[in-house]
Structure formats: C-alpha cells, structure tokens
Structure 1
Amino acid sequence: MSRRLDLLLTALAPAIWGSSYIVTTQLLPEHSAMTVAFLRALPAGLLLLLIVRQLPPLNWVGKIFILGALNFSIFWAMLFISAYRLPGGVAATLGAVQPLIVIFLAGFVLQTTIRSGQILAAILGIAGVALLLLTPAAQLDTVGILAGLGGAASMAAGVVLTRKWQPPVPPLTFTAWQMTAGGLLLLPVAFWISPEIPTFTPTNLLGLAYLGLIGGALTYVLWFRGIARIDPASVSILGVFSPLSAVVLGWALMGETLSTTQLFGAIIVVFSVWLNQSKAQLIQTPQKAA
C-alpha cells in the first residue's frame, strides 16, 4: 500500500477527533469529562476484545498498560484538566507541541535522525493552531499549562513507544488491548471525581456510541496502524488536523464565523503537514532507489 494512502488513512483519525468537542457539548453537556473519557475507552475496548478474541501474552501485559496509560488514561486526564482551567485555544495550542516532542523523543528512543525540516514543520504547526484558536483575551493558568504540556508529552511518548513496542498482532487487536487497559486505569479516577452513577438519555447514549466506536475504536485502529507504517514525526504532525477539523465543523455545523486570521492559521497548518511529509518523502526516495 502506498505511503500516500497510509497518510490519508492515518490523517482521518485526528480529523474525526476534531468532532469530539461538538459531540460532547451538544450530546453530553452535563456529564463529567472523566466519566465520558472512561465510558469512551472501556466499553469500546471490551467490544473490540470480543471481536478479536485474543488477550495479550503475559510478557506484554506491562507494556500494554503503559501504552494504555500514555495514549488514553494520562493523556485524557491531562486534557480534561487543561480544558477545565484554560481557554480552549490555549489548551489546543499546548497540545500542538506534541509533534515537536515526538521528534526529539524518537531521536533518543528510536535513534531516528532529527532533521531541521521536520522541526520547522512542527513549529509552523504550533503557530498555525495558535492563529486558528488563540484570542488576545486568553488567560493563562499555571496548573492548566502544565497539564496541557503533560498531555502533549504523554501522547508523544505513547506514539514513540507504540512504534517501539509492536506485538505480532493486527492493529485492531493492539487497539483492543490498549483501549481496555486505558479504560481500566480511568475507572477509579472517573468514580473518584463523579462517584454517583450517571443517567443517560437516548441522545447521551448516541453521543457515547459515536465517541467510543467512531471517535475511539475506529480512529485509534487507524492511528496505531499509521504509527506502525510511518515514521513517528510524520504521524504526529497529522495531529494538527484535529483543531483544524474542530474549527471547520464549528463553522459548517454551528454557524461559527471564521476570521481572516483563522483562515491564515488554517493555511499554515496544512502547509506544516505538507512540509513535513515532503521532507520525509525526500529522505525515503534515495533509500528506495538503493
């Protein structure tokens, strides 16, 4: 399968993640974010386990729980804290730091070459997201900033270690293991924050089904598949499509307006992805020729 198709399928994951904000605010407005995160991960993970009918070998259990924590539990917990304490634009901009962290972390853990073109693309991605979402009135909070950076670091470590630790199973099975582990780790946190048993309307259940099956299971199968096939820096930069997708969906579905600054930011976001992929393609071409 061509690299271009691999990139397209992988990019679908963050593009779909961008719809999570609208789904959560419109279909699940009154429920704890941590409760939603837990219900997004564990039921979908268990459903995937029923489909694949395969548990991880004992020597993989520790790694699976580490990956589940990094890609789901810690990441979603930090995301919740930063979203609660910071304006959405600030939280998303902090999350956009993830590709930059991946570049250096992959260089240390995977011994990949750190290239200036990819660093430039990552910085442009951060700038593009900032133009898309930041406003002059945005207020900063130290705990929120640390949580936002912690979430970016957690997801970055998850990307790199998911590439390093590749079990001999399909992406669907790998996703089932990680989502289940992540959901189990979220369980005590969710009930500590919101100990009462939540009640759900049919609309709420529809939102949870979308977040768990489409925004969770499907997207992470595509995401982990991409990590296995594409270099980590080229995968992580695709994450900037999430805030871009959120802005576009807000404009298309919610009637939100787009400013000239936001349009300029969107162009920079797309350019940053193109720059990263073009540099990666130039690196790979001589290897194929050899």
Structure 2
Amino acid sequence: MSKTVADLPVVPTTRPAALGGLAIAIGGAVLFSTKAIVAKLLYRYHIDAVTLIAFRMLFSLPVFAAVAVWKMRTEPPLAVRDRWRLAGLGLIGYYLSSYLDFLGLQYISVGLERLILFLTPTFVLLITALVFKRRIGRAEWIALALSYCGIVLVFAHDLKGGGGNTVTGSLLVLGSAACYAAYLLGTGEMVRRIGSLRLVAYAMCVSSAACIAQFFILRPASMLVQPLPVYGLSLVNGIFCTIFPVFMTMAAVQRIGATTASQAGMIGPVSTLFLGWALLGEPITTVQLAGTGLVLGGIYLLSKKKTP
C-alpha cells in the first residue's frame, strides 16, 4: 500500500520527528505482514478464504466508508471515467489480490507467502518493460536475479514438505502480487489527481462490497455465526492488519518520504518469519534466512533506483 501514497509531500522534520516517522513505517509494515499470521490462526477454525476475507472487510469497511463520505462532501465529484477506473482498480488491487493471497495461505508457510508478495516491485518493473517498453538496466537485472534466486531457494526448501500444495499456494500468491502490481501501475497517474487518501478509501469500499457480495453469493448466511475467537481475530485482521497499516504508511511517507518508508517496509518479511515461528510453530532454517536475505537485497537495490 505504500506505493499509493508517493504523491504526499514530505514535510521537513527534525531528527526526532524523522526517527518517529521511521518507527511508524516499521510498525505499519509489521502490522500489515501480521495479516498472514492472523489468517493462519483463523484457518484453524475451519473457515475458508471467502469467509475470512468477508469478515476482514466487514470490520474495516466502516472506517474506509467514513473517509470516503468525508472526501465526497469536501472535494469535487469524480469524473465518470475516473469512477469506472477506480472501481476496476479496487477490484484488482484489494479484492482479487487479497482473495488470491488468502487462498494461497491455505497451502504455504507465512514466510514464503510474505517473500512472494515482496516481489511486487519486480512485477511492476517487468510489466513496465513488457507493456511500456521500458529498458531494464544492469543494476535492475541484478536486483531481479537476487530476488528470484531467494524465492527459488525458499520455494525449493518448502517444496520438500508441501509437495503439490506448495506449488498451488505459491502460484496463487504470485497471482496476488501480479494483481497488486497492476493496481500500482494503474493508480500512478490517478493518485496525483485525486489524492492517495481518497483513492484508497474509494478502492477499499469497492473491494469490501465485492468481498461481502461474494460471501453471500457463495456461502449461506448461517456462516456468519462463528465461534467467538473468529470474531476477535477478524477484528484484529480488519483494524490492526488493514486500517492501521494504511494510515501509518501515509503518515510515515509524509515524514520521511516514500523511498525511506519503502525501505523500512523490508522488515515485513523478517517479522513474518519470526512471528510464524513464535505463534504458529513454523521452523526457521538457514535456507529460509538465506533466501530472505537474497530477496531483501534485491528489493533494496530496486528501491535505491526510486525517488522519494
């Protein structure tokens, strides 16, 4: 989500304020990554991805709807073309991407899931090269090679224990990363015209409507009745793993810039790896750490090519 706030002006800050911005960025990255942990805990109650994502959006929708209504009342209405484009971006970036991600989490470890999602900037680079004929430089090729070598290393390690499930889950999460990359490319020009807060609020409302509608089409309403822990974990998923990271990332970008905030977000895969070990009992091996290091190194090289 941090890419949608690159239009926000960076406010000159003192060193303590800059450190505060860095702390906010790290906190947002950790909270956003924690959604994988929460999803794994929810799956223990035998709910599926359709139900999980519906509950997530039910708890987060009121906040995003409130922001959307506020923006509708205080800013000029969107052009019809922008409304349709924003609806499409919301369906791709927050509905389809999230749905594929949660589907994939049923089959793979949270560590591998987070690393695959962290490849989103590489998908953006590859799409711009293929579609917009942008030349990929030598440093970017090195970054891509490092990132994908890291993924292959962790994937091969997990494949020994997961077999076909690891392949299925990895492909679903790869689809999620590709969808979000398409969303980021689609929002590039629009976010400068209508603002990141307005865009995210509207897109999340579209996504929420799609997720909730999908639930009522595919599942009986009786599935809304769940054990109490499901409601508690879904509340955490909706508020602490969705709402908070969005606004924390925006605040961080305003303080320290998009590039620094993006680099701080690299703590996400590392935190997921250790949270998976602490809360889910997923092992941490030397191979996983090596693969994580390669992916982070590659994404760091890519982030250095960007401007704040």
- 1:4-32, Cα deviation, whole Å (9 max, x unpaired): 98887656544323211322333563222
Would you say the 8 A contact 2:59–2:239 is kept in 1?
A: no
Gap runs ≥5 in structure 1: 285-290
- 1:107-156, Cα deviation, whole Å (9 max, x unpaired): 46678663332332233223334444642233236765653432222111
| Cα distance in 1 between the residues matched to 2:25 and 2:131 | 22
Distance apart, 1:255 and its partner CA? 5.2
User: In 2 relative to 1, CA 126–194 (structure 1 residues): closer, same or farther, beyond 3 Å?
Assistant: farther
Which residue, 243, 247, 263 being the options, matches 2:289? 263
Distance apart, 1:73 and its partner CA? 1.1
**2:92 matched to 1:70?**
yes
Indicate the structure whose relative CO is greater, using CA pairs within 8 Å and at least 6 residues apart.
Answer: 2
**Aligned amino acid, residue 114 of structure 1:** I
TM-score by length of 2: 0.71
Which residue, 26, 37, 62 being the options, matches 2:41? 26
| Cα distance in 1 between the residues matched to 2:30 and 2:149 | 18
| Cα distance in 2 between the residues matched to 1:113 and 1:7 | 32
Distance apart, 1:175 and its partner CA? 1.9
Which residue, 192, 202, 210 being the options, matches 2:217? 192
The residue aligned with 1:118 is: 140
**Aligned amino acid, residue 147 of structure 1:** L
The residue aligned with 1:137 is: 161
| Cα distance in 1 between the residues matched to 2:295 and 2:22 | 16
The residue aligned with 1:36 is: 52
- C-alpha root-mean-square deviation of aligned residues, in Å? 3.8
Would you say the 8 A contact 2:115–2:151 is kept in 1?
A: yes
Distance apart, 1:179 and its partner CA? 0.8
**Aligned amino acid, residue 15 of structure 1:** V
| Cα distance in 2 between the residues matched to 1:39 and 1:273 | 32
| Cα distance in 1 between the residues matched to 2:296 and 2:249 | 19
| Cα distance in 1 between the residues matched to 2:133 and 2:243 | 30
Distance apart, 1:239 and its partner CA? 7.3
User: In 2 relative to 1, CA 230–108 (structure 1 residues): closer, same or farther, beyond 3 Å?
Assistant: farther
The residue aligned with 1:249 is: 275
Distance apart, 1:75 and its partner CA? 0.8
The residue aligned with 2:3 is: none
Most deviating of 122-131 and 14-23: 122-131
Gap runs ≥5 in structure 2: 1-9, 13-17
**2:187 matched to 1:162?**
yes
Distance apart, 1:226 and its partner CA? 8.4
**2:220 matched to 1:172?**
no
| Cα distance in 1 between the residues matched to 2:145 and 2:253 | 21
**Aligned amino acid, residue 108 of structure 2:** P
| Cα distance in 2 between the residues matched to 1:108 and 1:61 | 27
Would you say the 8 A contact 2:29–2:265 is kept in 1?
A: yes
Most deviating of 159-168 and 23-32: 23-32
| Cα distance in 1 between the residues matched to 2:133 and 2:249 | 22
Q: How many residues were matched structurally? A: 278
State the secondary structure of the residue aligned to 1:258.
Answer: coil
User: In 2 relative to 1, CA 224–45 (structure 1 residues): closer, same or farther, beyond 3 Å?
Assistant: farther
Which residue, 268, 274, 289 being the options, matches 2:300? 274
The residue aligned with 1:287 is: none
Distance apart, 1:40 and its partner CA? 1.8
User: In 2 relative to 1, CA 190–11 (structure 1 residues): closer, same or farther, beyond 3 Å?
Assistant: farther
| Cα distance in 1 between the residues matched to 2:270 and 2:102 | 19
| Cα distance in 1 between the residues matched to 2:62 and 2:266 | 29
User: In 2 relative to 1, CA 263–149 (structure 1 residues): closer, same or farther, beyond 3 Å?
Assistant: closer
Distance apart, 1:68 and its partner CA? 0.9
The residue aligned with 1:153 is: 178
Most deviating of 53-62 and 221-230: 221-230
TM-score by length of 1: 0.75
User: In 2 relative to 1, CA 223–132 (structure 1 residues): closer, same or farther, beyond 3 Å?
Assistant: farther
The residue aligned with 2:235 is: 209
